Amino acid sequence: MIMRLYLTSILLSAIGLLNAQEQQSILKTKEISGSFSYFMPDEIGNLFALTTSGQLKKYNGNLDSMGSFNDVRRYGKLHSISASNPLRSLLFFKAYRTILVLDRMMQVVNKIDLRRSQIFQVQAISQSYDNLIWVFDEQESKIKKINDEGKVLFESADLRLIFSETITPSIIFDLGGYLYLYDEKNGLFIFDYYGALKNRIALMGWTNVQPLGKSIAGIKDKQLMIYTPNSIDIKSIQLPKEISTADYIRFGIKGCYVSTDEAISWYEWKNN
């Protein structure tokens, strides 16, 4: 049954979707039944979803199956997927310090062992704007950029010399000419591509942090939080219970994916 969940118009105006004067709603329009432990959409609406049995499946925007990758467990527990480039995705296996590069057909085109690059403690990686890979080396407290062979092409200064606290980002993303590191305890850090700190924003305690258009979105206290770089305002919008209590949420320009024990559902912004 389609569920109709009414949102205030501020939610949709905040993410730049619809006229703020119109009444808006969000509909659950489709779902994938099953038990999933993780998922990640790419930039064109495809969805990667990891089943609890360890199979990685790829779906198109209609949630029709496009293929699967069955060797996930061979590399240990999948920690994250970087899918900002629809033509290739990065699968990061934290325990084995391994990155798999998959093409759009879910075929492995490269395997990177970070230990060979003398990088031993990592929990955040990301694709860069130029199809290289950003890595945060926690042991050395440095931002590093590596190529597909694992060679370190760039590294920042030791960030312990800049900050009094230790930074342990859970997510890195490349957005609008800058590199963003998010640490739930210490906030959002914005760097240029040469490792120079441009800004630090006190966005502590957010979960499900992600880029959204030109903004940064996350969840805190069951609210959608939106920060736009160079803006002095941080918007907060109350979310419906069915979304705010979900295990995992990823927002898109036209809606959001949420996961529960039984399915991954797509909720779409609609005009009334």
Which tens digit of pLDDT belongs to each residue from 185-196? 999 999 999 999
Q: Which two tokens stand for residue 257?
A: 């994916």
Note the pLDDT tens digit of each residue in 100-120: 999 999 999 999 999 999 999
Note the pLDDT tens digit of each residue in 19-60: 333 445 778 999 999 999 999 999 888 999 999 999 999 999
- Among 208, 220, 210, 240, smallest CA distance to 25 is for 240
pLDDT value of residue 13: 39
Q: What percent of the chain has pLDDT over 90?
A: 72
| Cβ-based neighbours of 220, under 8 Å, separated by 6 or more | 205, 206, 207, 236
pLDDT value of residue 90: 98
Note the pLDDT tens digit of each residue in 76-92: 999 999 999 989 999 99
Domain residues of the chain, as ranges? Answer: 31-155
Q: 243 or 188: whose pLDDT is higher? A: 188
**Other beta carbons within 10 Å of 16:** 13
Highest-scoring range by mean pLDDT, 3-7, 212-216, 251-255: 212-216
Mean pLDDT across 216-236: 91
pLDDT-derived band at 15, boundaries 50, 70, 90: very low
The burial class, CB within 10 Å (0-12 / 13-18 / 19+), for 228 is: middle
CATH class of the domain defined by 31-155: mainly beta
Annotate the chain with DSSP letters as a single string.
Answer: ---EEEE-HHHHHHTT-S-TTS-EEEEEEEEEES-EEEEEE-TTS-EEEEETTS-EEEE-TT--EEEEE--GGGG----EEE-SSTTEEEEEETTTTEEEEEETTS-EEEEEEGGGGT----S-EEE-TTS-EEEEETTTTEEEEE-TT--EEEE---GGGT-SSPP--SEEEEETTEEEEEETTTEEEEE-TTS-EEEEE--TT-EEEEEETTEEEEEETTEEEEE-TT-S-EEEEEPPHHHHTSSEEEEETTEEEEE-SSEEEEEEEEE-
Cα angle, residue 109 at apex, residues 103 and 115 outer, rounded to 5°: 120
Read off the pTM: 0.88
